[in-house]
Structure 1
Amino acid sequence: MKIIPFFLCFLFFSTLLSLSLSELCNPYDKKVLLKIKQSLNNPYLLASWNPQTDCCNWYCVECDLKTNRITSLTMFSDKELSGQIPAEVGDLPFLETLEFRKLPNLTGPIQPSIAKLKNLKFLRLSWTNLSGLVPDFLSQLKNLTFLDLSFNNLSGSIPSSLSLLPNLGALHLDRNKLTGPIPYSFGMFHGNVPSLYLSHNRLSGKIPASLDNMDFTAIDLSRNMLEGDASMLFGSNKTTGEVDLSRNRLQFDLSKVEFPKSLARLDLNHNEITGSIPVGLTAVDDLQFLNLSYNRLCGKIPVGGKLQSFDYSAYFHNRCLCGAPLQSCK
């Protein structure tokens, strides 16, 4: 009669032991994740974060199969999640990906504890209501290959120390309220030359001459208050694919510019650019988009290449441009 209760107890404890052995999640990481959930006021997005289950199976996280440590934390597209980035995110030492995106009620500054994440490769904090400065401590994250802080309310100047990130492939600071000049150091990136996106800010001053040293795959400085010369961004020896300098106050002679043959998109509209369209632009065979409108260009549009494949809107509102697709020259 006593054998059955003993068997049930044995079965119960062996089941618990089996469950504990089958759980992949590192207990320290699990404890940190539960603190993050609590700091965010237990949002519905994190409903799967049940302490009785394996955290490697929770929504918004990923585990490394070899180490069983949390390597990815991504939260996105949730209007209900509110508060600030929890300080505890810095207590996940194996984190390689951190993403908070499309969270309109996420506020406050960029969390300083992120500086502790020395293994971080991908950092995206975008489409939120984060405010304050772009922190200088981001330059300590030497393994970063992608940094996206776009579509926020960040203000102040761009820290020059970001050029110290040796592995950066793309830098997105666009759609904020950043002021001041483009750092001179952005012409001296250590290691990779990242695609650079600084559009829709309040940047002013001249584009640093040091950028002549950089061969950007893509560069977007549009919708700022930049002045002066931008010709250093071009060159026949470069491999740049996209350049958008539209809606600034740039003044330079376009006829003296040599364009890379790799150029696919060129937008210079709404500036104060003078000169004529250089014949060399006809040699850019892969040009897919062109807008030179609202400048002070003159002369005949060269015939050849892709230049006649764009309609009049790519050229109109210039001082005295003529030739197809505009009216013929007199």
Structure 2
Amino acid sequence: MLRLSWTNLSGPIPSFLGQLKNLYFLELNYNQLTGSIPPSLALLPNLIGLRLDRNQLTGQIPEEFGRFPGTAPDLYLSHNQLTGTIPKSLGYLNYTVLDFSRNELVGDVSFLFGTNKTTQIVDFSRNMFEFDISKVEFPSSLTWLDLNHNKISGSLPASLTSLNLQNLNVSYNRLCGQIPAGGKLQDFDIYSYFHNRCLCGTPLPLCK
């Protein structure tokens, strides 16, 4: 395990960290690291957690992050300056945690979901993602879904009512239609849903 968080580190992440084959947890968050994410980190066969959040990292998420040799690690990349689209290769792995929030990422990320996944926590908030949420098949294991402040369109699928959600936020998007009734969806307040194009139904005002 290598934990160097909250240490005021600056400069790029060294690529030689990918040679530490026994490493199962790498924590470099809450620093001032710059530059791009080294693709060599995807060579770590035993990695189960990777925290690079709250730095000043730039560039794209490496394509290699869809080819971790072992179990897909919990991936925390939030609060950086990452750009571009999410590599399609990440859709082939089964991540438990994906936190890409507060970056400058774009495009369609719907391929990261699927009924065959066991993903539990997804935070894609405050990016510029664009996709139709009505076509997304969410994994039954999902307990945390934060998509606020993006450009997501469509209507909320009824399948969300079957999830045991502890957190849901789809505010500040381009959603339309009625919020499906049932499950946990009415347990959340208006702040989970507001500032959408034409979303309606409890806890928002009734549909006309």
* Common fold by TM > 0.5: yes
Number of the residue aligned with 2:188: 310
State the secondary structure of the residue aligned to 2:101. coil
Unaligned runs of 5+ in 2: none
Number of the residue aligned with 2:117: 238
Aligned residues: 208
The amino acid that maps onto 2:190 is: Y
Structure 1 position 192, deviation (Å): 1.7
Moved more, 219-228 or 230-239: 230-239
Number of the residue aligned with 2:139: 260
Number of the residue aligned with 2:97: 218
2:76 to 197, 212, 218: 197
Bigger Rg, which one: 1
Number of the residue aligned with 1:301: 179
State the distance in 2 between where 1:217 and 1:257 align.
Answer: 17
State the secondary structure of the residue aligned to 1:308. coil
1:176 to 51, 55, 73: 55
State the secondary structure of the residue aligned to 2:18. helix
Number of the residue aligned with 1:124: 3
The amino acid that maps onto 1:139 is: G
TM-score (norm 1): 0.63
Number of the residue aligned with 1:227: 106
State the secondary structure of the residue aligned to 2:26. strand
State the secondary structure of the residue aligned to 1:266. strand
Structure 1 position 304, deviation (Å): 1.0
Unaligned runs of 5+ in 1: 1-121
Structure 1 position 283, deviation (Å): 1.1
Number of the residue aligned with 1:269: 148
Pairing 1:329–2:204 present: no
Pairing 1:155–2:34 present: yes
State the distance in 1 between where 2:135 and 2:188 align.
Answer: 22
The amino acid that maps onto 1:271 is: N
Pairing 1:164–2:43 present: yes
State the distance in 2 between where 1:161 and 1:229 align.
Answer: 25
State the secondary structure of the residue aligned to 1:281. helix
TM-score (norm 2): 0.99
The amino acid that maps onto 1:148 is: E
Q: Which has the higher contact order (CA 8 A, sep 6+)?
A: 2
State the distance in 2 between where 1:182 and 1:256 align.
Answer: 25
1:181-219 CA distance string (max 9 Å, x none): 000111111112100000000000001111111111101
The structure 1 segments of at least 4 consecutive aligned residues displaced by more than 6 Å after TM superposition are: none
Number of the residue aligned with 2:198: 320
Pairing 1:209–2:68 present: no
Taking only aligned residues, the RMSD between alpha carbons, in angstroms, comes to 0.6
State the secondary structure of the residue aligned to 2:119. coil
State the distance in 2 between where 1:148 and 1:176 align.
Answer: 12
The amino acid that maps onto 1:295 is: N
1:106-126 CA distance string (max 9 Å, x none): xxxxxxxxxxxxxxxx00000
1:140-185 CA distance string (max 9 Å, x none): 0000010000000000000111111000010000000000000011
